[in-house]
Amino acid sequence: MEACTSNPKPGETLDYVVGSELIADVWDACCKAYKCRDFHETEIKKNVIIIAFCGSQKVTDFITENDFDECKINSYNQHFESMHDGDVENSKPALVRKLFLDRFLCMMQSSKLGDKIQQYQTGKKTEKVTEKKTVILAGHSFGGAIASLWTLWALEQRWENSPLCITFGCPLLGDKIFSRAIEREKWSPYFCHIVSRHDIVPRLCFSSLKSLPISKALDRLLPYWNDSMQKGDNQQKVQDGSHALPQEDSLSFIKQVIADTSQLVTHETRALVVGSANLVGGAVKCLIKRSPYRPFGYYVFCSSSGTACCIENTEAILQMLYFALGNSRQSGACIMEHIEYGKTIAQISKSSSLIPPCWKTVNNEIPPYWKKNENFSTDEVALALQLEAMGIGVQNVQAWLGLKIVEENKNKLTKNMDQQIIKLDEMQNYMAELELYKISCEKDGSLGYYDFFKMNWTKELPNDLPNDVKWINANKNRFKLAAFWDGICELMEKEELPNDLPNRVKWINAGTEYRLLVEPLDIAHYYRLGKHEDSGHYIAHGRPRRYKLLQKWLEDKEKKGEMQSKKRIQPAIFTQDSCFWARVEEVHSKTDEEKTCFTEQLKQKMADCELSKDVFLDDNTFMRWWKSYPNLSAQEKQSFSYKYPVMLLPSAEG
Amino acid sequence: MDVDLLNPPKFSVGQELGSLIATCGILTKAWEGICSISNNKGDSFLLVKDEDVAYVIFPSFHNEDFIVTDSKYGECNIQNDKIFSAGLKGDDDNPALVHKGALNRFRQFLENQDFKAKVEGLKEQAIIFVGHSIGGAVAALATLWFLEKRLRNSNSFCITFGAPLFGNAIIREALGCEDWLGRFCHVVCKYDIVPRMNLAPYESTAKPLDAIVPHWWSKMGIDCAAVSHFSISEACMALVNSVLKCTSTIANNYPGESGLRSPFVPIGTYMFCSTHDAACFEDSEAVLKLLHFSMQSQDGIPFDQIAGICISEHTDYGHMLEDIDGALLNARQFANFVSNSSFEIGIALELEAIGVGAQQDNHALFALRKAGEEKNEKDRNIEKLNVELSTNQSSMAELEWYKMRCKNNNIGYYDAFKQLVEKKDFKVNLHRKKLESFWDEIVDKEKKHVLPSDFRTRNKWINAGTAYRRLVEPLDIAYHYHTDKGHKSYLSDGVRPHRHIVLEKWMKEKEQTRTGGNRGRRGRTNFASLTQDSCFWAHLEEACKALVNLQQEQDINASLQVCVEFEKYVGSMITDKSISLEVFLDQSSFMIWWQQYSDFQSPQWKSSSSVFDFMAKEGWKKKV
């Protein structure tokens, strides 16, 4: 098997697993799991452990309160902290299928599986386990969903190594927030969903559980699937297949699923096309109940002829889920393929033609169907290859268009990103100018740039540019930077930048730098214009969204433990709390108790070296308040001085 | 044009949208409602509630609805009945016209108080007005009426089946401004004659209609006198013939006599259906052409049969929906790639879906291509303007700074600029010019319809325009009085720049639509930083002139009148705090005027004038 993904570690592991005999072992384990209650564990090779989850399902599980059986992922548990939409205020948690979450939580309590996975992954020494293992969590059908949740749980622990998840014919599990969160965390490569072209189960979640054709068919299909998997006898299955469901029911069942899938997919496609937002479709949107579920992770689609393609883009997966199924009238195949992954896998390993997600270079011979279209771009060739591999064919113009739209959208994101990166570089100039402004303001040693900006700019310093020129320049730079970051926020909101931007260290750093340097100026502007009298204090009523968002990016990253600031031994160049000056302005109107609290916080911040030197310049807003604050001893007041921290540290300890 | 070649439209998704709407179940429900209402032979509407959606269904048609007496195409002025707001009137040369039969019918519903109360009382998330044939035009008017009420965040839609065209270009424009066009979806069977019918003058269709309408009645399950088969097919031929003649004139842009063109245009999204698929089209011109081209047979069916189909399809929407549903599983396969461009493929798909072939020299293809390109251009224009707007913010910031600096020197920026003394002021003039050309261009583009139709109601642009007008118009006024030496009033005709007039109009229109909503205006607690009426200084200049006249004892009555009016005007602005404090700066020309004016006035005026009281107490210095 050819391996040409350009993905990092997990992706390569995935290639290794799917493209080798290992995959057959994984499938075997999944079959065996049907005979267990919860899961089945085997060690194949050295240090490769497969934990397969049982996929059997009771019909009664499908009697649910709401149409799609969704619930918030953080209901009754705290395991999945990263699964939210990353919004600043009232961020929304992801939705997942309640059935699966309940079962996962139940397992979490009753079994020791969590500890076990931890031992394998972190290599903690116990009696039995002595070294780290590669763990593959796997499952067929509903077991796949459970395996996904366990993998997600393990990823949330942020160990050095994480297990890999492989599922066969797994139903969809989470909504769009869920899938975007996984993309944002760069966890997609840990999930590999293998889907047989016609398998109906992955598409089931697009239909309401309450619709009659669906529930009627599931009544019969679930026991049939369970039975066949438990028996594990291939020959007999084929015999029974046609009897499991009357022809008529199965037709209306498949038709319903196709109709619902088509609804959802065409709607999503349309939303991606620029400028079509105000079409009548937008109006219809709120009239149709659509399933919340979306795919996540990598999908490997397999056709019965032994070709397969791997797709990583959620939107493209959606398209493929529809078009691979939508063309067929083979209702038998839709039902049978769900339990025939053994065959499918055997076919693939025989023909060994997996098309990886980022197929770009045309180094093989060119198949005939696009020879006449020599001006196909490499992207288009890749698309054509995917379609051909699935047996859909490039002649299916709808599928072709759908995938093109998805790709165009992806390209747009990349293009936007490139533009913003160039702009970010430009912004560095303005940042540098503002830093110079800060330094020049502090020159005379009595005021910092905060007060300078807030005050009248007419006060002149010797041997320098006129102050009003400096002020207007600083203000211009502030404007430009604000416009840039507001633009970033807007693009993020419109989902026109890559989803993982808030997770990229480069952007977090740039944002934090900006916030620490420029937010004091915004605060100064706010209080200079007296806006606080009009609409209330800055932090509660006037703080621009961009700062909140940038701060959240940093906090989220720190919470994950992926970015830790070292302990400071010198005072910071910028006050680490960018709202510091707003707090100072606010403190005047506070009660005594709150004032005391504020001074306590200040002491702590000083001890941590989080305050910058410009806070202690003699005449500034803060020092003036501090000197006049009655509840402090003279010594304490003295300790706040320019010579900080040398003088300060002992008193802070004392 | 080079840029256009580099950025062709990328996609055209009418076919996807068509199948989305056709399969989502709304159409089926709507049609079921129509069938049940015509079985009841009722004249009243029907209200069906389904989960969160309420369907308001209008009965199909009556014999007399088709009859036109006093106009050529059955049009009439929408204001005839005072049902709709004055916002919809158009101007005298181009009144807003609607289908008269439908308007009469709708008025009857409104007069039936039950209808109004029931519809306004609906609590459902969405309301869909549905109608077939003339009933469809009634439903469209009902939607319009309902949208104009702007009740809560009402989601109201209109679905029609085989409805005649219901309004003219003025109505379309008005709906476009509000971004309401997307709320109308007209389902049209490929051959159905009715949607094209009022493109032809009534006199040419009257006679055959006499025979055909009863025939439709019986098809819809309403009893009527039997019509002989022979006369029907004769009538069909005659009707289709005369309609086709008119549509082909329109579709091929033949320069017929201008008076011959029907005022009616397609409004909203049109969904054309063939036996196997459907596609949606938004562009009014393209739809107009498709109304003609889709009626031409591609399958070699002889004309007399086509004529029969044209009539029978009008009552056959139920079957059509079933057919499309049944064809869902078939994939569209093109043996050859029509083109490498996804846009072209999209158009080909659309044409295939509505059963019009996609040959290269096809007029329908050209029409769609042109529509797509126009839309693309609009989108790109707005993108470009967005970028320009943000670069122009720096000019705005410069002017803002200028204003602040002047204030610090105790002089308003209006007066400072009027004197044009400092060197800085010339720089300011440059910024003013830059902004002027930017906004002139926008106003011009909007007029030429190369911007999205709802451009002038978008909050972003209204706000930006208002901010610009309030900050910069005083400078324009100052410049005018500086150069013109005051011979002509800024407020007189033709002096005030067009852009300010237009921008103010947009803002006012928007504010009108807001009053009904939940965004009630909070009263100000502080004085505005910019005087809300951007023409304040022009008013002041006029008052100054009047005062000079008074002092020279010319035109006493008229001049006094002007001054008193101005005082009142200032008084009202002080009460609602919409005047900027800069007006009261020491060297402001307002203060100078006021000094002279109050000297001029009588003592009893001093005791009664609230403005005098305010000025004497220096009320602006008080913190509120």
The pLDDT value given to residue A234: 53
pLDDT in tens, A295-353: 999 888 888 777 778 888 888 899 888 888 865 566 777 888 888 888 888 877 776 55
The pLDDT value given to residue B230: 60
The pLDDT value given to residue B188: 92
Higher pLDDT, A243 or B589: B589
Q: Which tokens is B292 given?
A: 């003609």
**How far is A362 from B617, CA to CA, in rounded Å?**
84
Chain A residue closest in CA terms to B16: A266
Mutate which: B16, B407, B451, B525, vs A, most A CBs within 10 A: B16
The pLDDT value given to residue B197: 85
Residue B55 has pLDDT above 60, yes or no: yes
Instruction: Report residue B578's pLDDT band, with 50, 70 and 90 as the boundaries.
Output: confident
pLDDT in tens, B510-524: 887 765 444 445 566
pLDDT in tens, B249-265: 777 766 555 556 788 88
Chain A residue closest in CA terms to B408: A456
Q: Which tokens is A174 given?
A: 């989470």
Q: Is the peptide bond before A645 cis (omega within 30 degrees of 0)?
A: yes
Question: Average pLDDT of B79-93?
Answer: 69
The pLDDT value given to residue B140: 92
Chain A hits for B526, CB-CB cut-off 8 Å, are: 533-534
Question: Average pLDDT of A393-416?
Answer: 84
Mean pLDDT, chain B, whole residue set: 80
Mutate which: B7, B19, B20, B50, vs A, most A CBs within 10 A: B20
B401·A475 Cβ contact <8 A: yes
pLDDT in tens, A531-576: 777 778 888 888 888 999 999 998 888 887 766 667 777 777 888 8
Q: Who's near A645: CB < 8 A, 6+ residues apart?
A: A570, A571, A606, A609
Listed range (A53-62, A112-121, A631-640, B227-236) with the worst mean pLDDT: A631-640
Task: Give yes or no for a contact between A322 and A304, defined as CB atoms under 8 angstroms apart.
Answer: no
CA distances for A171 relative to A66, A251, B580, angstroms: 17, 20, 63
Question: What does B422-450 look like in DSSP terms, one character per residue?
Answer: SSHHHHHHHHHHHHHHHHHHHHHHHHTT-
Task: Give yes or no for a contact between A37 and A45, defined as CB atoms under 8 angstroms apart.
Answer: no
Looking at the complex, report in whole angstroms how far the Cα of residue B242 sits from the nearest Cα belonging to chain A: 32
Higher pLDDT, B238 or A488: A488
**How far is A412 from B292, CA to CA, in rounded Å?**
38
CA atoms within a 13 Å half-sphere pointing along the CA-CB vector of A107:
21
Residue B447 has pLDDT above 80, yes or no: yes
Which residue bears the tokens 């670069």? Answer: B391
Q: Who's near A397: CB < 8 A, 6+ residues apart?
A: B332, B333, B334, B345, B348, B349
The pLDDT value given to residue B18: 78
Of B155, B342, B390, the CB nearest to A286: B155
- Closest to B310 in 3D by CA, of B362, B238, B358, B221: B238
Chain A residue closest in CA terms to B409: A458
**How far is B364 from B357, CA to CA, in rounded Å?**
9
The pLDDT value given to residue A461: 52
State what percent of residues in chain B have pLDDT above 90: 7
Q: Which tokens is B171 given?
A: 């109505």
Helix or strand run (H / E) with residue A50: strand A48-53
Residue B557 has pLDDT above 80, yes or no: yes
DSSP lists the bridge partners of residue A96 as: A71, A174
Mutate which: B24, B287, B423, vs A, most A CBs within 10 A: B24
**How far is A553 from A506, CA to CA, in rounded Å?**
11
The pLDDT value given to residue A646: 40
Residue B2 has pLDDT above 60, yes or no: no
Q: How many residues does chain B have?
A: 624
A398·B332 Cβ contact <8 A: yes
pTM: 0.80
The pLDDT value given to residue A274: 56
Of B280, B282, B526, the CB nearest to A534: B526
B157·A479 Cβ contact <8 A: no
**How far is B459 from B264, CA to CA, in rounded Å?**
31
Of A278, A395, A534, the CB nearest to B333: A395
Q: What share of chain B is helix, strand, coil (3-state, %, to 5)?
A: 60, 10, 30
How many CB atoms neighbour CB A37 within 10 A?
9
Using alpha carbons only, give the angle B113, B115, B118 rounded to the nearest 5 degrees.
105
B11·A408 Cβ contact <8 A: yes
Q: Where are the beta strands (DSSP E) in A221-302?
A: 293-294, 298-302
CA distances for B476 relative to B220, B429, B508, B535, B536, angstroms: 66, 9, 21, 10, 12
Listed range (A274-278, A402-406, B397-401, B603-607) with the worst mean pLDDT: A274-278
Higher pLDDT, B312 or A519: A519
Secondary structure (H, E, C), B460-499:
HHHHHHHHHHHHHHHHHHHHHHHHHCCCCCCCCCCCCCHH
Q: How many residues does chain A have?
A: 654
Q: Which tokens is B391 given?
A: 């670069």
Residue B232 has pLDDT above 80, yes or no: no
**How far is A280 from B158, CA to CA, in rounded Å?**
10
- Closest to A193 in 3D by CA, of A173, A176, A214, A223: A173
Q: Where are the beta strands (DSSP E) in B209-317?
A: 264-265, 269-273, 278-281
Of A262, A402, A480, the CB nearest to B328: A262
pLDDT in tens, A144-164: 999 999 999 999 888 878 888
Residue A370 has pLDDT above 70, yes or no: no
Question: Average pLDDT of B453-464?
Answer: 85
pLDDT in tens, B414-430: 888 888 766 777 888 88
Instruction: Report residue A432's pLDDT band, with 50, 70 and 90 as the boundaries.
Output: very high
Chain B residue closest in CA terms to A482: B390
Question: Average pLDDT of B104-128?
Answer: 83
Q: Which tokens is B390 given?
A: 């943000």
Phi then psi for residue A95, to 5 deg, are -105, 140
- Closest to A56 in 3D by CA, of A29, A34, A41, A26: A34
- Closest to B282 in 3D by CA, of B151, B454, B101: B454
The DSSP symbol for A93 reads: B
Listed range (A293-297, A394-398, A460-464, B234-238) with the worst mean pLDDT: A460-464
As a whole number of Å, the end-to-end CA separation of chain A is 68
The pLDDT value given to residue A644: 46
pLDDT in tens, A14-40: 566 666 677 888 888 988 888 888 888
The pLDDT value given to residue B410: 80
Mean pLDDT, chain A, whole residue set: 78
Higher pLDDT, A626 or B466: B466
Interface size A-B, in CB pairs within 8 Å, comes to 148
The DSSP symbol for A542 reads: I
Residue B194 has pLDDT above 80, yes or no: yes
As a whole number of Å, the end-to-end CA separation of chain B is 57
Instruction: Report residue A6's pLDDT band, with 50, 70 and 90 as the boundaries.
Output: very low
Per DSSP, the three-state class of B352 is helix
Residue B88 has pLDDT above 70, yes or no: no
Looking at the complex, report in whole angstroms how far the Cα of residue A267 sits from the nearest Cα belonging to chain B: 7
pLDDT in tens, A625-645: 877 777 666 666 665 554 444
Chain A hits for B390, CB-CB cut-off 8 Å, are: 483, 487
Count each helix (H run) and each strand (E run) in chain B, helices first: 24, 11
Question: Average pLDDT of A586-599?
Answer: 82
Residue A128 has pLDDT above 60, yes or no: no
Chain A hits for B332, CB-CB cut-off 8 Å, are: 396-398
